[in-house]
Structure 1
Amino acid sequence: MGENNSLVLEELIKRQRTDYFNNPYPCAVKRKKTLLKLKKMLTDHEEDWIKALVTDTERASFEGYAFEIAVLLNEIDYQCRNLHRWMKPDRSWHLKLGYVEAIKKTQHPYGSVLIISPWNYPLQLALMPAINAIAAGNRCVIKPSEYASATSKLLEKVIRRLFPPEQLAIVTGDAQTAEFLTTLPFNLIFFTGGQQTGKKVAQQAASKLIPAVLELGGKNPCILDETGFSEAAIREIVWGKFLNAGQTCIAPDTLFVHTSVYKRVLPEISAALIDFYGKHPENSKDYGRICHTAHFQKVTDYIGQGKVRHGGNYDQKNLFIAPTVLTDIKPGSAVLKEEIFGPVLPVVPYTYLETLFSQQLIQRDALTAYVFSKHKQHIRMMKRYMHSTSISINQVIHHAANPHVAFGGTGRSGYGAYHGKAGFHACSYDRTDYKAYHYMHVPDKFPPYSDKDMRILKRLRKWLM
């Protein structure tokens, strides 16, 4: 990264911070105007966005619209409907000994927000945090992934034309550019990506005392017990797993199946895969590709760690990996410990949930957890065991597209949450205005103190604080 580029980025953040200091609390009307301009940008260039997404991921146009554009449009609508209510001050009054206190709490924007987004959903994961940040009154700099070049270039082109850089800016470049951006004096950093890079971002933010939101991955478990098995359940799980060629952070990562239905599950998975993508998925217009070569190699390495029950073939030239189902996996294999983030589904039989939990095959702080069951006790056990921020019962994926549901991780899957009201609060800080109206003088609160003062304090403590 050249010195000139560094100076340009430093000037950009300076302009955003100056604009923030000149207008630190934009009104709701101004925020909505910016959000609606983003909405118009998405609808006016809808075909261009879909074309760019297909170029970057080679997945179906339907998925590009459903899981990127539609989700963003719904989020903008939700923010606009609720913004006035969220911005309304929370007021309270309390009678104390000698005075009345008036408390007003409001949400204030941090200032300039850095958003570093990944390649798997290059439009949604670049703009969703920006929508939340703008609704909260912030300015934004978005660093999209270099591995989704078509979407990144279109973002850069359109946003530069529609928005002043002191309000919303796109910075393209490689990992070195992203690393340099984290050294600049942003007021909040929002990172979506892998755990290792997330740790570096968190360390850099901590060194400058900058708050950060980290949306990382996780090895999301999916439990299918003896009461949860059905053709519909299998189709739901298969769809969620192989959506975007498995490159979804909330995809079911490993499927744990009760032994009583295990042999029935495997052929149902194969049948669903053939229904979805045909016997030759490389020819399916609805099946995506792996984003880049390094990740392709990582995912294909997992295939040799178990017995292939479906798929297993791949083509590096076209970055194609067939939907693959693995069984008979050796304990301790990487495919059972690491997030796969690709179209490889390990299917593991179990007899007792308690044993499954005690073997620690399930990451308790995964980004989410899935359970297909009609057994209330099994569902309760899963809820008690997991430390994830969401647990979905008898469905996959859908909760993450709902603006009423906060989306975020805990522990190894990150920290902080966004979407809807959670996103508004993630990009704001609490300010409290405190005012006292005195109606009598209380001299005993000042030194020197006596034993009598202590007795009075204990007797009236509820009225003093």
Structure 2
Amino acid sequence: MTDNEYHFLKTLPERQKEELFSMGSPSIEMRKKQLLKLKTILLEREEDLMKALYSDLGKPSFESFSSEIAVLLNEIDYVCKHIATWNRPEGSRHLRLGYVEAFKKKRHPYGSVLIVGSWNYPVQLTLMPAIGAIAGGNFCVIKPSEHAPATAELLKEIINQAFPPEQLYVVTGNAQTASLLTSAPFDLIFFTGSEQTGKAVAAQAAKQLTPVILELGGKNPCIIDETGFSTAAIKEIIWGKFLNAGQTCIAPDTLFVHHSIYEKTLDEISASISAFYGDQPEASGDYGRICTDAHFQKVAAFIGQGHVRHGGAYDRKNRFISPTVLTDIKPGSPILQEEIFGPVLPVIPYTDMRTLLSSGNLQRDALTGYIFSKNKSRIQLFSEYMRSPTISVNQVIQHAASPHIAFGGVGRSGYGAYHGKAGFLAFSYEKTDYQTYHYLRFQGKFPPYSDRNMKALKKVRRWLL
């Protein structure tokens, strides 16, 4: 990085703040205009984006469009439709003892926002928070992941050509660039990535008291009981697990199956994998690849920690790991402790739901939890046990595509939420203009205080609310 580039990045947040201060909060019309410009870019460069995603992740065009581009287009449409309502000021007047108070509450942008994207969905997870930030009236600096270089460079090209840097700017670079940005004077930082890196971002931001939204990961449990088994249910689970070659933060991480349906579930899983990707998934055009060599090495190491029921093949040169199902995993194995984030599915039998929940084998604060069941009491029990902000019943992944549902974590899976209205609220704060109209002044509130004034205060206290 040259001295000029360093100076430019260091001063860009202040330039964006100055731009906001000079113009005031962007009007709803301006925000819509920015969002629709972003929509136009997505539509016009759709093929280029899908080619970049294939280059980085071997992602099939269908998955690229459905899980990256389409959800962004739908989000923009939804936000543009509702943003004026969300941004409408709320006013109120109340009679107090001796005076009337009036206040008007409205949403206000934070200012200059830094968005640090992730490599597994490098278009969606980079631009989805930007939509919320623009809706909230902010200007943004976006740092895509360097681990998806083709997508990062394309985003830099198309965004920086369409927007002035004082409004929206994409910066590419490695971890050193990210560290420089997180230490710059932004008003809010939005980070998507691993728990370890998220802690480092939060620690850096804390030095400047910069608020942070963290979207991390976790071991999302998936339970199927004897009432939830069906071919359709298994297809849903397998689709969600091996979408994007398993590199999805809300993918089912580990499957817990009631012992009475364990063997037929395993058979149905193998049948579904073969139906989706064929007997040679490395030749399938519908199955992706692992993003980096380092991540390939981590995921491939999991395969040796259990009995391979299906799959197990891998090719380091092409970063290919076949859809793999493991059974007979020893307690305490790393695959049961760490987020897998790849195409390896441990399948574990259980006998009783309450015993399973009390075993400590389920991460309660994962991003989400899945249960396939027709038993309402068990569904309720699972929902009450999990701390995750979302619980999905008889379906996987789908909830994350809905702008009606806030997406975010709790505890180890992060904090803060976005999508739809939640994104608008996340990237703005409530600002109140307060005014009073005095008819009587209570002189006793001023020093010097007295016992008499204290007695009077206690008598009128209830009318002060």
Q: TM-score range by the shorter chain?
A: over 0.9
Q: Contact (CA 8 Å) 1:24, 1:111: kept in 2 or not?
A: no
1:190 counterpart SS class: strand
TM-score w.r.t. length of structure 2: 0.98
Aligned equivalent of 1:361: 361
Please state how far the C-alpha of 1:105 moved relative to its aligned partner.
0.9
Q: Which residue of 2 aligns with 1:171?
A: 171
Q: Please tell me the residue identity of whatever aligns with 1:92.
A: S
What's the secondary structure of 1:43's corresponding residue?
helix
SS at match of 2:260: coil
Asked if the contact 1:95–1:463 (Cα under 8 Å) also holds between the matched residues in 2, the reply is no
Structure 1 unaligned regions, length at least 5: none
Partner amino acid, structure 1, of 2:315: D
Matched to 2:429, the amino acid is: Y
8 Å contact kept, 1:24–1:109 = no
| CA displacement 1:115-173 (0-9 Å, x = unmatched) | 11111001001100111000101011111111111111111111121100000001001
User: Following TM superposition, by how much is the alpha carbon of 1:440 offset from its aligned partner in structure 2, in angstroms?
Assistant: 2.0
User: Are positions 1:80 and 2:83 aligned together?
Assistant: no
Q: What's 1:267 paired with? A: 267
- Aligned residue pair count: 465
1:213-248: CA deviation from partner (whole Å, max 9, x where unpaired): 000011000011111111111000000000000000
The secondary structure found in structure 1 opposite 2:140 is strand
- After superposition, the C-alpha distances for 1:306-360 in whole angstroms (9 at most, x for unaligned) are 0000000000000000000000000000101100000000001001122212220
Are the equivalent residues in 2 in contact too, given 1:290–1:321 (CA < 8 A)?
yes
The answer to whether structure 1 residue 302 and structure 2 residue 302 are counterparts is yes
Shift of the alpha carbon at 1:447? 3.6
Query: Take 2:22 and 2:203, find their aligned partners in 1: how far apart are those partners?
Result: 30
Could you tell me how far 1:192 is from its partner in structure 2? Answer: 0.2
**Cα distance in structure 2, aligned partners of 1:356 and 1:197:** 31
User: Equivalences for 1:314-329 in 2 at 5 Å?
Assistant: 314-329=314-329
Instruction: Find the counterpart in structure 1 of residue 244 from structure 2.
Output: 244
Q: Which residue of 1 aligns with 2:187?
A: 187
Residue 98 of structure 2: aligned partner: 98
Identity %: 64
Matched AA of 1:10: K
Q: Which residue of 2 aligns with 1:376?
A: 376
Quick one: distance in 1 between partners of 2:228 and 2:190? 37
Q: Secondary structure at the match of 1:346?
A: strand
Correspondences of 1:300-449 after superposition (within 5 Å): 300-449=300-449
Deviation at 1:452, TM superposition (A): 4.0
Aligned partner of residue 423 in structure 1, secondary structure: helix
Change (3 A) 1:14 1:458: closer
Root-mean-square deviation over aligned CA pairs:
1.1
**What amino acid does structure 2 have at the position aligned with 1:342?**
G
1:28 aligned residue: 28
Q: Secondary structure at the match of 1:290?
A: coil
SS at match of 2:152: helix
Equivalent residue number for residue 128 of structure 1: 128
Can you list the C-alpha shifts for 1:240-289, whole angstroms capped at 9, x where unaligned?
A: 00000000000000000011111110000000000100000000000000
Per the alignment, residue 55 of structure 2 pairs with 55
Q: Please report how far the alpha carbon of residue 24 of structure 1 lies from its aligned counterpart in structure 2 after TM superposition.
A: 3.4
TM-score normalised according to structure 1 size: 0.98
How far has the Cα of 1:450 moved from its partner?
A: 4.1
Partner of 2:72, secondary structure, is: helix
- Structure 1 residue 62, shift from structure 2 partner: 0.6
- Tell me the secondary structure at the aligned position of residue 196 of structure 2: helix
Secondary structure, counterpart of 1:244 in structure 2: helix
The separation in 2 between residues aligned to 1:415 and 1:142, in whole angstroms, is 20
Please say which of residues 409-418 and 432-441 is displaced more in the overlay.
432-441
Match of 2:65 in 1: 65
State the 1:5 CA deviation: 2.6
Opposite residue 18 of structure 2, the aligned amino acid is T
> How far is the alpha carbon of 1:456 from its aligned partner?
3.1
Aligned to 1:39: 39
What are the Cα deviations for residues 377-433 of structure 1, in whole angstroms up to 9, with x where unaligned?
A: 111111111111110001000100100000000000000000001101111111111
